[in-house]
Amino acid sequence: MNGLSTKIRVKKAVILAGGQEARLGPLTNYCPSWMFPILSKPLMEHTIDCLKDNGIEEIIIASPEKAKIPDYFKNKVSGTTVKYHEKDRPRGTAGTLKDLEKFLDEEPFLVINGNLFVGYADLAKFVEDHLQTGSLITVGVHKDGRNGATENFTIAANNTVKNFHTIHPSIDRRSPWRPSGMYVMDPSVLRFIDRNYYMDINEQLIPAIQDEGFKVSAHEVKGFYSSINNMNDYVYVHRELLMNGHKPNLEPKVEVAKKIWVGKNVKISSDAYLLGPIVIDDDCEIKDGAQIIGPTVMGKGCQISEGAVVRECILWDGASVSNYSHAEYSIIGETSYIPDNSTFKHMLILNGWRVGDANLIPSDYNIKGVAALSEIMSIGGSKQKLYNIAKRIMDVGLAAAGLVLLLPLFALIAMAIKVIDSPGPVFYRQKRCGMRGKLFNMMKFRTMIENAEDLQKELLPMNEVDGPLFKISDDPRVTKLGRFLRKASLDELPQLFNVLKGEMSLVGPRPLIMAEMRFSQTWRDARLRVKPGITGLWQIQGRSEAPFHDWIRYDVSYVKNQSLWLDIKILAKTVKAVLKMAGAC
């Protein structure tokens, strides 16, 4: 990584490490994204080196609880002070900055997302532009024509930010300008952040600043850099660094042949064939007849056996490819191996996997599946199919039985709503996002007056909870009968029809409208990979009483750890919570 000739006039930087990394599973089962090896060196190390080269004197890394960042960087950093802040819960990107208020005192500071490969970004020009415009925040942006970019800014002709959009691939794209994961901020922005609530920079902090009449600017950051939001991005960074004329700092590795860099104690058979660019870390061995074709990166202690072929792959530490096997366009996880005479293309090859891991790999990824030692699971593979079939059988069986048994109760509730409650229909229908963002009409018994949605705008200042939730203790829109139906969770019963139609499941993340998922893109993308449910992990942990950061945590956890046994446990706990009327609103 090359330092810039002009040092930036900002001395402090915050690296926002960790957070929700659902789209990087199952790799994050092995290590967090800030430790992903880029050319066999952790991503965070690249970031710290870049900031040091640009004159940053103090860095604070905000990481999730129990992260081992300090352990790794002990004795590795000199010339720059590196401090650490452990987050005890999801705070949002802006909420985390509020926690660091004492560190971010009187001078402008740089903010870098932890999943950003800063690479060769022109940070000096970025900071200079911020200081000249007098903005409270300058957002780093770039134009991105690649498919799958779902966050963008609308920018005015004078380079001020007009709007931020969080969209889903099912919705048309609005602007070519994407967030780069870099910001320069004036410390006065911290007064706009509530210490008690989850808060996002793009979706919440920037609008709050603009509402008070302050300026937020955008700057197109030049140079090569890339956010690593998914496995495609991870592969893309390696290809760019090795194939497109960049000169990455690979010291102390030695270039033993054209574009073939080798570390210490590497053994390469004279009968092996290597075609660069290839990076080989310490203690690797390549045996007779093996072929390595770049761009390929091998971590420490990798073994390529006799006659094996490795083409355009990323191998993590301790990975091995056995005799006469082929691995092409794949990622081979730490200490994983490919058995003799096997062929893998566009795969993640790992020691283990879960059904939820495959659910988090979108269909447009170059990585098409997960392989575990002697068993292969592609998207829609055997284990996942068995789970989906069993889950559907359970959904249909229990929903059908429930509707038959509850038919008299349905009639009684419908009569009460129509005869003794407020005027209006028996059922409330609203468009919600189903699996992969497909819209459907979610059904509930009506518990509010007819024009409730229009009145919500007037009641927004009274909202008592954070995130996309809206709750006030004594909501005037709720009818007397509706209050009882909500407390007893009887208003949700018509969703059994949605389950029978295949639009919902008994267990899953609650269905929301797209706008309600805007505060966390990874949370949204994870929950849209599965069918929404009548109940889920968040509901059994307190339902409306649980804060937004727990909602994020439980939804992502469910998607990552799906199993039939987990579904059964959630259903059992739901019955217990409903009988206690715990946390209902």
pTM, to two decimals: 0.76
pLDDT tens, the chain, 585 aa long: 444 334 567 899 999 987 655 556 677 767 778 888 999 888 988 999 899 888 898 999 988 766 667 777 766 677 788 888 887 777 788 888 998 988 887 889 999 998 899 989 999 999 999 999 889 999 999 887 554 456 777 777 787 887 776 655 555 456 788 889 999 999 999 999 988 778 889 888 999 999 999 999 999 999 999 988 778 888 889 999 998 877 778 888 999 999 999 999 999 999 999 998 999 999 999 999 999 999 999 999 999 999 999 999 999 999 999 999 999 998 998 888 888 998 888 888 877 656 655 555 554 456 666 665 544 444 445 667 788 899 999 999 999 999 999 999 999 999 888 877 777 889 989 999 999 888 999 999 988 887 766 666 666 666 656 666 667 777 778 888 888 888 888 999 999 999 999 999 999 999 988 877 877 777 787 788 889 999 988 878 755 556 677 787 788 888 878 889 999 999 998 888 777 765 555
Domain boundary among 333, 353, 379: 379
Contacts of 21 (CB under 8 A, 6+ apart): 28, 32, 33, 115, 522
Residues 60 and 184 in one domain: yes
Residues 393 and 324 in one domain: no
Helices (H), 86-198: 92-99, 123-133
Could you give the CA distance from residue 124 to residue 219 in angstroms, rounded to a whole number?
12
Cβ of 383: how many Cβ atoms within 10 Å?
A: 15
Could you give the CA distance from residue 525 to residue 517 in angstroms, rounded to a whole number?
9
Number of domains in the chain: 3
Residues 128 and 211 in one domain: yes
Residues 323 and 284 in one domain: yes
Confirm whether 109 is domain-assigned. Answer: yes
Could you give the CA distance from residue 23 to residue 28 in angstroms, rounded to a whole number?
9
Ordered DSSP codes for 27-48: GGGTS-GGG-EETTEEHHHHHH
Is-contact 238 297, C-beta < 8 A?
Answer: yes
Residues 356 and 416 in one domain: no
- Record the tokens describing residue 144, joined without a space: 């991105």
Pairing mode of beta strands 109-113, 177-185: antiparallel
Phi, psi of 53 (to 5 degrees): -60, -25
Is-contact 399 377, C-beta < 8 A?
Answer: no
Residues 404 and 352 in one domain: no
Residues 301 and 217 in one domain: no
Domain boundary among 379, 402, 430: 379
Domain boundary among 359, 379, 399: 379
Residues 209 and 284 in one domain: no
Residue pointed to by tokens 């799906």: 562
Domain that holds residue 324: 250-379
Could you give the CA distance from residue 23 to residue 395 in angstroms, rounded to a whole number?
27
Confirm whether 244 is domain-assigned. Answer: no
Residues 202 and 315 in one domain: no
Ordered DSSP codes for 162-194: EEEEE--TTS----SEEEEEEEEE-GGGGGGS-
DSSP symbol at 73: H
Q: How many CA atoms lie within 13 A of 442 on its CB side?
A: 22
